[in-house]
């Protein structure tokens, strides 16, 4: 049979073909889902962390310039 396997199609994904996706990755932060059982004390820790980061945002930006990050979807060992 000549079945097409959708998980093994010869598609080449190049990051330069997706400028808006790159912009989203560079400019937005997402906190993954927080599942129960969690309470107000965990949320207070998140608030404390955000205040700490945003209270030092210029320093964070300077440090970020010195860190080289890999393409976010690169496979390890690929």
pLDDT digits (tens, 9 = 90+) for 2-30: 666 767 767 777 888 888 988 887 788 77
Q: What is the 3-state secondary structure (H, E, C) of 10-58?
A: CCCCCHHHCHHHHHHHHHCCCCCCCCCCCCHHHHHHHHHHHHHHHHCHH
Q: Confidence band (pLDDT; 50, 70, 90) for 78? A: very low
Q: What percent of the chain has pLDDT over 70?
A: 79
pLDDT of residue 74: 58
Residue 36 in this model has a pLDDT that exceeds 70: yes
Q: Confidence band (pLDDT; 50, 70, 90) for 69? A: confident
């Amino acid at each position: 049979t000549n079945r097409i396997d959708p998980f093994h199609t010869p598609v080449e994904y190049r990051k330069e073909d997706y400028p808006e996706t790159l912009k989203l990755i560079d400019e937005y932060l997402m906190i993954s889902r927080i599942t129960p059982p969690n309470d107000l004390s965990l949320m207070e820790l998140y608030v404390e962390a955000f205040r700490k980061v945003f209270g030092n945002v210029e320093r964070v930006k300077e440090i970020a310039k010195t860190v080289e990050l890999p393409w976010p979807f690169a496979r390890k060992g690929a």
